[in-house]
Homo-oligomer: A and B are copies of this chain.
């Protein structure tokens, strides 16, 4: 009998621990594959410290391949799931030819996405703190604001550059505001034209106190610590809207700022949203064993799932909370349950009681509640760090991270603005005579305008062989139909001589072609004329 194939989508705490536990328990009796859009696991609670420059980004992540020995790791994006035939469709590699993957059991662990759409301008202008790239971006953004403020000539602009707003007084917001302030404090002496009193760092929380997840005394202590470090904590306040230069609060106050970090607002993952599963509060409904009802061999856990903790759950606290601690436990339990199901044994329901909670406040301080015991200050902070170290794979890695932490506390903050070069949305691409630009079945990555040379569109007929349908010379273009219309490529586009195209990225082209009325009209007419009106899609589903 062929081995069972278990496919896990998502490489966060939940997915990683499910894969690890299953591999440990099942030995070689199953094929396990984990699909993730990054090739590393992020220890998410450390993101604020990466943003503050307190640790290197490489010390907050671990390669999934290192972490998950004997698990096939696939760097890809899942675009479709066919539950009836048990097949996933992914984009990987050059991302243009969809690949299909079969499964016997499917585990959905892709978490939730940031959703700021309730607040006009926040999606466009706020920074978030969900992925490693976000932490990286925030760190660079803060340093860039200091660089610009140091040479700014207009007082109004300088003020905007030196006002930093963090929205949300939960763990993520509190840790982020603490780390941002710490980064600024440690860096200011290198910016001779900025005086400390010009810098404003504010935390905004809608409730009447911060850290609602912790007992009130710890929340109060945390607020005192933040204020002691010069952070203004505004409770009972929210944000209404934002532009690139200001934020409007719920009381109508407009705060000029270049930096708005939103740690609020989550919604379902984009793929999860499209699956047609039963949802509640933006999460997939599952039973107490984390099975998705009505779908064969489909499981869900972590932030993506709503896992009941009793048999008649009705209120929010009857379900597992979206914390790393629970995700780890859910992963382990799911891994064990998968083994049980493969062995034909009985499943066990998920049950776990929180061991406590912990929040870092920056500057080697933290607050914690562990098994009912409250801790604060340096001791809580050490506990926090030890928990992370215990999680890292391999002794040498632990030593490296530990040493880096110690060294980092002695050396000045690294204020170098290291950025990967921006990938341009347009580029010139060279093709050699005979090169294929598109093959049949591909998804368009962009829109191509011929600058030099020529191309031909070829159809392959099983009976009559290849047939050239049309050619494209300088000034002509291809790719528009499969971006603006509904189809995947039905033929092949091939260079008939050495050629150069101007390429514009898919999403940019789409926004621009839809945004500028003149272009929209041109392409509507063009597609209808060349391919018939049925090629125009209402919604761009087929090719997304």
Contact = CB atoms under 8 A, between A and B. Distances in A.
Interface of A: 38-40, 56-58, 61-63, 65-66, 72-76, 92-94, 99, 120-121, 124-125, 131-134, 136-137, 140, 143-144, 147-148, 150-153, 157, 161, 190-192, 241-246, 248, 254, 394, 396-397, 399-400, 403-404, 407-408, 410-412, 414-432, 435, 449, 451, 475, 477, 498, 502, 504-505, 507-508, 511-512, 515-519, 522
Contact of A430 (B241, B403, B404, B428): B241
Contact of A151 (B76, B137, B403, B435): B76
A57 B426 contact: no
Nearest to A436: B245
A415 B519 contact: no
A133 B420 contact: yes
Contact of A148 (B75, B400, B417, B430): B75
B93 A152 contact: yes
Contacts of A152: 93
A38 B419 CA distance: 10
A476 to B, nearest CB: 9
B416 A407 contact: no
Contacts of A420: 133, 136-137, 140, 419-420
A148 B63 contact: no
A523 B131 CA distance: 40
Nearest to A148: B93
Contact of A512 (B63, B242, B502): B502
B76 A425 contact: no
Contacts of A242: 430
A253 B432 CA distance: 13
A40 B417 contact: yes
A151 B93 contact: yes
A511 B425 CA distance: 10
A183 to B, nearest CB: 13
Contacts of A449: 512, 515-516
Given A75-B144, A93-B157, A400-B408, 19 more contacts: A39-B415, A39-B417, A40-B416, A63-B412, A65-B415, A66-B412, A75-B147, A75-B151, A94-B157, A241-B498, A242-B430, A422-B423, A424-B505, A425-B505, A426-B507, A449-B512, A451-B515, A502-B511, A512-B512
Given A39-B143, A148-B93, A403-B403, A63 B190 contact: yes
A421 B522 contact: no
Contact of A417 (B56, B75, B153, B244): B75
Contacts of A124: 427-430
B246 A432 contact: yes
Contact of A58 (B56, B157, B451): B56
A326 to B, nearest CB: 25
Contacts of A411: 394, 396-397, 400
Given A93-B157, A475-B517, A416 B61 contact: yes
Given A190-B63, A475-B517, A477-B516, A58 B429 contact: no
